[in-house]
Each structure stands twice: as C-alpha cells, then as structure tokens.
Amino acid sequence: MPDRQFDVDFFLTIPRVTNLVLAPDGTRLVATVAIVAPDAKSFTSSLWELDPAGERPPQRLTRSAKGESSAAFMPEGSLLFTSERADPEEEPHPDGEEVTALWLLPARGGEARRVAAAPGGIESVAVAATTGTVAWAAPSFPGTVGNDDDAARAKARTDAGVTAQLFESYPIRFWDHYLGPREARLLAASPPPAVGEHGMTDIRDLTPAPGRALDQASFDISPDGTTVVTGWRRVDDLCRPCTDVAVIDTASGERRVIVAADAHHTAVRCSPAGGWAVCVREVNGDPHRAVDTTLWLVDLHGAEHRDLTPGLDLWPQAPAWAADGSAVWFVADQDGRTPVFRVDIDSGTVTRITDGGSFSDLCPSPDGRRLYALMSTPSSPPQAVVLDVGAPGDNGFCRPSLLPTPGLPLAVPGRVEHVTAEAGDGIAVRSWLVLPEGASPEQPAPLAVFIHGGPLGSWSGWHWRWNPHLLAARGYAVLLPDPALSTGYGQSFIERGWGHWGGPPYTDLMAAVDAALARGDIDETRTAALGGSFGGYMANWVAGHTDRFRAIVTHASLWALDQFHATTDLGVWWEHQFGDPYHDATRYRENSPHHHVGAIRTPMLVIHGELDHRVPVGESLRLWTDLKRHGVDARFLYFPDEHHWVQKPQNVRLWYRTVLAFLDHHVLGKEWAAPELL
C-alpha cells in the first residue's frame, strides 16, 4: 500500500518523467521532469541530470517559471534546450508574452544563455553528432525573410486588429489549434561557442517557402551537419495524404524528395556514420485493408531503400541506432507490454531484448554495451533504467536495472493481474485487471471497465490520464481490455475490427468483461464502463446495445460518424477505415452510435473540452441533446479551456472527482454530490 492516501491530490504531486537523452560520451543522462506549478493551474517542466551508474541522486539542472524541455546534447557536452523564459539581456516582449527560444547550458555548469530565437517560437531541435551543427523548426509568415521581417508582419496584424485567416489547403487545424498563419520552416546554423556571450550567427533558412509540408514533421541532421533529413507532407492528393522523406543540403538549401510512397514517414533518425537513415513507415489503409507499420531503411545518397522489418507482425516505433550502426533498437506493443527489440541491418534478424515492462526513449551507449531507457508498467510511472544488452539472462532477456529517478519508487494501491478471454471467433482477448485491497469472493469489488482510445493502441503501461489506481484506492476493480483494433497482437487482430467498430471490438470487450466477472472476486451487479475518444465511442455503442452496466462515462467521444467526418481535424484519415462518405456512407451509418439512442437506458456522464479538434465538441453537444430528448439520466461536464485531453491540474482534479462521484452514486448507491466549485 502507498504511504499516504492515493487520491487525486497526491496523484498530482507525482513527478512526470519524459524525454530521456544521453550525452555523447555516455556519462550523463538528462530527462524532462514535469510537476504542478506553484499556482496549481498548470504543469511546469525542468531538466534533471540522472546518473547512468545509478550511484548519485537526481540533480535538477534548470529552474524557471516558464520551464524547460526538448533537451539535446552538443558534441562537447553542453546542453541545448527550449524555454519561454525571458532573456535578461534583452528587452521584454512587447505584449508581455515570451515565445519559446533555444538556450545553451555549458557542460561544466554556469548560467544558460539564449542562442537562437524566432518571433513565432522554436518548436524542436536536432544536433549533428560530430560537428555540432544545429537544426531547428520555427514557424514564420509566408514570404517573410528573417526574424525582423516576420516580426514586422506580426506587428502589422496586431496593430490592425486582424486575427482572421484565409485557408487554401486541407487540413486547416490540428489537435487543439488552427494551422497558420505562420508556416513551419527548418533552419540550421554552426554550433554556438560552448562559453561566451554570442549565439548562432550564420543562421540559414533551409525551407523559405514550405507551405504546410512541415506540419508535425519529424527531422534529424546527419553527423557531419551537411544534410537534414525530414518528413515532407504531400498535399496534392486530398484523399490520400502522405508524408515523404526529403533531404536538404544545409549549405545550399537544395531539397530532394528521396522516398515517396502511399505512406507516412515519421521518427526519422540518421545513422552514426552518415549515409543512412531509418524511419517509421505507416502505410495508408483502405476499407478493405488496415494501415500497417514497419521500419524503413533509407539510403541518403541513392535509391537503396528497403523494409527493415518485413516479417515482423508488430508495429515498430521509436527507432534508435546502435552506436556502431550495425543495428537499430526499437519498441513495439506486444501482449499488453512494449518490449525493446533489436534488428540487425545486414541480416534483418529481429531479437526481442526485454520481457516485462513498457519502454520508451531508447538511448544506446557509445560503447554498445548498455541501453538506457524509460520503463513503466501498469502500476509504476516511467523510470530511468539501464539494460546490459551484452549479457542477457538465462531466459534470453535483459533485466533492467533501475536508476534513481525523481518521484520513484512509488507504491500504488491494489494488485495487477492479467485476464484472458475467448472471443466468439475463438480469438484470445487479453486484459489487465487492477484489484483493490481486500477483493475476494466473500467481498467482491465493483468493476469499472476502462476502454482505451486510439483506436489503434493498447493498455501497455502507466497512464497519467486514465489511471486505474485512483479507482482501486476507492475500492473499485478496474479492467483494462485490449479488444480488436488493439496493437500488439498482430495485423490480423487489427483487421478484425477495421472499419467494423460495432462488431468485434464490441464483442471482444463484452467477452473480456464476462471473463473478469467469472472470477468471483468481482461483483457482477455493480459495474460501469468508461472510455475516451475511441473508448468514448465504444462507451456510446455499449450504451445503445446493453443495459448490463449501471453507469457509463463517455469522454471526448464520437457519436454521429457522418458529422464527425466533416468536422474533425483529420477527417480524410477516417476514410481509410470507413470509405469515401460522398460515394458510399454505408459503414458510417452501420457503425454510428447515434442510431441507437432510443435503446439507451443507462445513466451517462458526458465530458468534453471546447478546444478539442480531434473529436470536436459538437459530438458531445449532439449526444447530450439526444440523451435529454430521449429521457436518459445524464450529466455533461464541460471544460472550456481543455482539448482532447484534460491536462490542467485543477481540471484533472475536477475530472476525477466528478467521475468518482458519478460512479459512487450509480454503482454504489451513494447520494449524488457534485464536486465543490462546479
């Protein structure tokens, strides 16, 4: 059991560790750590140094009200990072708002100094491993040249009171913001001096007129600094959007597309010796064939591009080159976990390296003997670990050694088990089950079923947004099922539910619930279903097809698929599953939950954020209206300042308190009491 009550207030105090990076000489690890800001209304992040040897406690490197992130090491050990902190040597921003700039922290300590800035901010950075040439992404107004010109354009719009935009291409928004009026560009410069007052002066604009080609692009820079390799979004085919791979000469700005396919290329990583890159390729699907993912090996000087993992029936992600360039490390969901794998460049042999746990942020050591990473489980947040990849254990897997990490170790309530069910077609459906203390046949626990989003995803590790232990602390058992469409069980498992959301994903879910209830330590008379995004869609579908649950919570959910296609930020992507609705809307009609509103009897809590462009708030507004018009006992929790996820601490607190109050009322029979301040 945890040392103190595991409630949402305690939950919000747990440091959130992300973005692990390793120094070129292998002697320093740096991670980004987010905590609740002093005003309790946001999270703020800072950079912490972790000891690769596991002997020294974590040490905080940066401290500012605005926070720091996106750490990247220079070859000599200095640390680049991005921050909105004000530069003490510059005049304050005219409107009082600072934008994200690029800062450098010397390797041997001292004060950080700003080395690059842009009126529209700096979004991401990459460093050439050998020369230290720096490349970064920064948005600028179309047609402008340099920071002064861009700032003048912004001032002219502000002075005129203009906030309007004219769009000429699709899409026009992403996640929680409209695209533009600035466009992302790539820039490069020689490395700043490790010490001194000067930043980077020879800044070159590599993409002066990119249009929308670099929106959400992944890029890297070759070790010698001569080439930037980047995703390049193709916008000429609205119905089959693609992201190609382009190379850009950092001296001349000459750009060539070297990989073009009916696919999206992301997570680009250049090889240690140069000449090659690896990336994740997601091949576009259609209503008869699901999307598929592989690693793609790219020859930067020729046409020798090939599938690096053609026989792998999993979806590889987050590639990282071995130091000698002979192999690529990666992770992939598998059976409710996210193990580490290694693929040999020459032979194509894929080897699984780890057993339990879910890994991310792979950092191979320069000597090739160790692999640093973040590892989580359903009962433990991400923690820095080291794997001795040269000495696997008797079972063939490498055992992770835990490194001191802020906020860890952490004790959580309940115990985690796995449950396997058999679907109607004989397929095994796997789930995690979190059981509260004391659950037994004599004292069965009420059950809350968490349905994951995606829909292409898995309950494979720790979750900050949907944390089952907060419910376990209140006496609930929590089922985390992976039905059809879940990743980690092979392509055929995804194909079972592709474009048929109301079919196998629903029946798999019900089979998983039946298997959990058959245990005896779960109370089959007190159950609830909860889900967000696709999980919210499935919660809505469940509501219209069964009365077995006492309560349903649906967050940022899809309700009417015909309207959703036209209003979501990436409507064209859904045509890969459901087809072109202007020619054949059959699948949209067959899989839309709103057609079954007349059958809903279960009390429902509807939750949505106004800034959500992935699943626009109109879905919940229509759902709410339909429920009330049909006499359903329903409540609507609305966040005007949140997007697809609820992230602000005060809103996270209200989200959990409202959900728990709703469940306690309908599942446990307690008197309804809305949280304070609502």
For residue 409, is the peptide bond before it cis, meaning its omega torsion is within 30 degrees of 0? yes
Instruction: Give the residue ranges of the chain where pLDDT is below 70.
Output: 1-3, 91-96, 197, 237
Cβ–Cβ under 8 Å, residues 210 and 230: no
Query: Quick one: pLDDT at residue 557?
Result: 98
Query: Quick one: pLDDT at residue 304?
Result: 87
Q: Containing H/E element for 350? A: strand 350-352
Using CA atoms, how far apart are residues 298 and 414, in angstroms rounded to an integer?
Answer: 47
Using CA atoms, how far apart are residues 560 and 666, in angstroms rounded to an integer?
Answer: 26
Using CA atoms, how far apart are residues 550 and 548, in angstroms rounded to an integer?
Answer: 7
The CA–CA distances, whole Å, from 48 to 72, 405, 406 equal 13, 9, 9
Among candidates 31, 34, 69, 78, which has minimal Cα distance to 50? 31
- What number does CATH give the domain 415-559+592-666? 3.40.50.1820
Q: DSSP states of 452-472 as a string?
A: --SSS----S--SSS-HHHHH
Q: What is the DSSP letter of 365?
A: -
Query: Quick one: pLDDT at residue 48?
Result: 98
Using CA atoms, how far apart are residues 486 and 504, in angstroms rounded to an integer?
Answer: 11
pTM of the prediction?
Answer: 0.96
Query: Quick one: pLDDT at residue 495?
Result: 97
* Order of all β-strands in the sheet with 370-377: 358-364, 370-377, 380-388, 401-402
Query: Quick one: pLDDT at residue 1?
Result: 47
Q: Containing H/E element for 82? A: strand 79-83
